[in-house]
Amino acid sequence: MKTQILFIGKEFRINEAFTDYVKRQALRHVDAINAITFLEENDKNLFLYISKAIEEYRNLLIVTTPQSYPATSKIVATLFEDNLVAKENFLVPSKAFAVEANSFAIKKGAHTINLIRARIGQKLPNILLDIQSESTYFYIFGLEEERIIETIYPIAKSYDIGLILTQETPELYKVFAYKKKFGDLAMFVQNAKLMLPQNLIITDNIFEYLIERFSALHRTVTFAESCTGGLLASMLTKVPGSSNIFHGSLVTYANEIKHAWLGVQNDTLQAFGAVSEETVEEMLRGALKVADADYAIAISGIAGPGGATPTKPVGTVVVGCRSKTEEIIRTMHFRGDRNYIQYQAAMYGIRLLFEVAKEELF
């Protein structure tokens, strides 16, 4: 079911944080966002664009500023051959089937339009689009793409399920599964999990799943980050409930801080360098000791664009995970710009955590 978000108002173009907030809220109600468009209040093609969008998309979320709401609501009413009436202290089409403060929804056949009057810096009004149940997300750990395709694509075909596969980081894939005309999503997921019991996690957010599992088991985790600069901690703490499992993170960029805070030996740093498995091993041990956690992830690398050496090019990142009884450290070579290398490195830390803690997380 195709979904578009249409932002109407100049302010939305320059406030990425707020529009990201809208997207996150929308994804709680729809399977995926297929298009995002920005228009200005006085765009001469506004009427035509909304008319075409209503026909093309099953779900259309229109987000307006208070200034652009009056004109936009009139356009929607006109397209539905309707009049505006006062409900919940603002004007909405009389045919609207759902109305809440600053938000209304109206249907045209199988198409649903939700128009929201939003104020940047304020809580977003409730989204009134129908919640979809014809798709799901899951993650697959520890397998290459070819093996995943060989294993679950035949199952998907037998249950008439479409799949979109994307790599988050090496050997960690996120999969979007959706029903086709005669699809049986529940049976597909059940059989895919049976085929990959120690590799497949059913969730749309791996951090939410981690928090839920570790909270139930009373397990804790800590991080020691260098080239990722606290990104992994930020990704985890964006999710409610992270305080149940997260003891904190040490961002140790400089070698002297790795030594002072984590106890990495100067001899280790001088002999092997900050980007080495020997250094990451000591970072892991230091993080576990400082935080008294059950698990630690440590990351040290060269995110670029500078800092490379002949033996350690940009994208060289050492990632490790340790419990009180097991440890895995790997040297990876990620590709991309600085931010993308940092993201892949952080997610590879999560990929290793699920390997070290597989008995508790799968």
Q: Which of 61, 91, 117 is the last residue of a domain?
A: 117
Q: Is residue 127 assigned to a domain?
A: no
Q: Does residue 123 fall inside a structural domain?
A: no
Q: Is residue 130 in a domain?
A: no
Q: Which domain holds residue 91?
A: 3-117
Give yes or no: residues 350 and 219 share one domain: yes
Locus of tokens 């089937």: 97
We report the CATH number of the domain holding residue 304 as 3.90.950.20
Q: What is the CATH number of the domain that holds 35?
A: 3.40.980.10
Q: What's the sign of the alpha-carbon dihedral 309, 314, 315, 317?
A: positive
Query: Are the beta carbons of 244 and 214 closer than 8 angstroms?
Result: yes
Q: 66, 117 in Cβ contact below 8 A?
A: yes
Domains in the chain, number: 3
239 and 288 inside one domain: yes
Which CATH number belongs to the domain containing residue 175 in this structure? 3.30.70.2860
Is residue 122 situated within a structural domain? no
Whether 43 and 95 map to the same domain: the answer is yes
Q: Based on the fold, state whether residues 178 and 56 are members of the same structural domain.
A: no
212 and 308 both lie in a single domain: yes
pLDDT recorded at residue 82: 96
Structural domain includes residue 43: yes
- For residues 233 and 325, membership in a common domain is answered with yes
Residue 249 lies in a domain: yes
Question: Based on the domain organization, do 173 and 218 belong to the same domain?
Answer: no
Q: What pLDDT is stored for residue 88 in this prediction? A: 87
Residue 264 lies in a domain: yes
Same domain, 242 and 300: yes
This prediction has a pTM of 0.87
Domain end among 117, 144, 177: 117
Whether residue 126 lies inside any domain: the answer is: no
Question: Which residues lie across from 250 on neighbouring strands?
Answer: 224
Same domain, 265 and 339: yes
Q: What is the pLDDT of residue 223?
A: 98
Same domain, 217 and 356: yes
97 and 42 fall within a common domain: yes
The verdict on 175 and 210 lying in the same domain is no
Across the 362 residues of the chain, what is the mean pLDDT of every consecutive 10-residue run?
93 96 93 93 93 94 97 96 93 96 94 97 94 84 96 97 97 95 95 97 97 98 98 98 96 97 98 98 98 98 94 97 97 98 98 98 96
